Amino acid sequence: MTRRVAVLGASGLVGQRLQQRLVHHPEFELAAVVGSPRTAGKPVNDLPWGLEGSAPEVDLPPVLDASDPSLGHHLRSLGVSWAFSALPSAVAMGLEPALVEAGLNVCSNASAHRRRQGVPLVVGDLNPEHLTLHASGPLHACATNCTLIPLLFPYVALADRFGPLDVTAQSEQARSGAGYALLRRQVPLTEAIPGEAEKTVAELGWITGDLRGASVLPSKPAVRLQCRRVDAEEGHMIDATFRFETEINIDEVREALTSFTSRPEAQGCPSAPSRPLMVVDGPVRRMDHVWANGDAFDVPSDPAMSLRSGMAVVVGDLRQTGPRTVHLRALSHNTVRGAAGGVTLLAEVALRR
């Protein structure tokens, strides 16, 4: 049985990635698209398509209006039971709880409800147990900030194996991380992103935090992070130095990264890569590695047909820099693993619970 889904975000970058991933999804069926007053009422197939490949051919009602007070009931009348949100945070703040109230399960890429007790912040293949924070009724859960993903996977793989870590890192974030408007601005950018580092480290603390009954007790990661935008289209990179409590050997570090596996609940999910981390010899490059799928570095001709493409984090430039320190660079597809693919995987894991 497939679940009927509404995508909240019509002509936006993450909204379109979600539409792309849902057209052939085996467990979810794209049933409605919800947009701003700018797109509401328009045929979905008439909206300009901004992603690689052609727009999915869909037979849907015209774009529904996000400001319609009876939106939730309207969606329910269409048989929609899930909503995947790619709304601006200010809009998600009110609309997501209203849809939950109307009986829909809401999984969100927006930041509005992240780090709120009772709304699990979940990376489907890392901390699915946090879904237990949601006791009953429709689910409201959030995926993380896209910047966190390339830091998070090496961090968890190495902390699981070697214990507490101290990290100094700098992000190099693609223009698409700020939506279509910045993606289309063809100007060289190397600029700091205010507030991004604090938000990212706080989310790391929540993902790696302990469950205490119905709450998360966030951890306090020893991570110093600086975030900046660079002139690349897709892919967020982290340049990081990890310091361990005891002396380590680079081969052990490499082995810990390559042998890291998804949590069992995510295995077999359509969007879960066979391995969440891949390690390359030498440098990691956006153009070669951003579509990593856990087995290979493909460049899918149609991402709608390959839900695992872009879902693995790639580590390269791995080298020992001291008896207790290693340097690495890690890359993640920000609009796939860091947004639409991540939230779909979260929903796939939730379905299995």
- Residues serving a catalytic function are 146, 236
Considering only 162-170, 179-187, 240-248, 273-281, which stretch makes contact with ligand NAP by CB under 6 A?
179-187
Are the C-beta atoms of 272 and 125 separated by less than 8 Å? yes
Q: Find the binder of ligand NAP among 19, 20, 39, 127 (CB under 6 A).
A: 39
Q: Which of 138, 153, 144, 151 is nearest to 115 (CA)?
A: 144
Residues 6+ apart with CB under 8 A from 31: 4, 5, 6, 60, 78, 79, 80
Q: What is the spatial distance between Cα 312 and Cα 331, in angstroms, rounded to a whole number? A: 9
Q: Min. distance of Cβ 57 from ligand NAP in angstroms?
A: 19
**Binding positions for ligand NAP, 111-130, rule CB under 6 A:** 111
Are the C-beta atoms of 175 and 182 separated by less than 8 Å? yes
Q: Find the binder of ligand NAP among 6, 18, 55, 66 (CB under 6 A).
A: 66
Q: Does 176 bind ligand NAP (CB under 6 A)?
A: yes
Angle in degrees, 0-180, between the axes of helices 341-352 and 13-22, rounded to the nearest 10 = 50
Q: Min. distance of Cβ 276 from ligand NAP in angstroms?
A: 17
Considering only 106-114, 153-161, 274-282, 305-313, which stretch makes contact with ligand NAP by CB under 6 A?
106-114
Considering only 31-39, 120-128, 238-246, 288-296, which stretch makes contact with ligand NAP by CB under 6 A?
31-39
Considering only 83-91, 123-131, 148-156, 305-313, which stretch makes contact with ligand NAP by CB under 6 A?
83-91
**Binding positions for ligand NAP, 320-339, rule CB under 6 A:** 334-335, 338-339
As given in the structure block, the two tokens for residue 82 are 């899930």
Pairing assessment for the beta strands 222-229 and 140-142 based on DSSP bridges: unpaired
Q: Does 319 bind ligand NAP (CB under 6 A)?
A: no
Task: Report how far Cα 167 is from the mean position of its chain's Cα atoms.
Answer: 22
Q: Does 146 bind ligand NAP (CB under 6 A)?
A: yes
Footprint of ligand NAP on this chain (CB under 6 A)?
9-15, 35-36, 38-39, 66, 86-89, 91, 109-111, 146, 176-177, 179-181, 334-335, 338-339
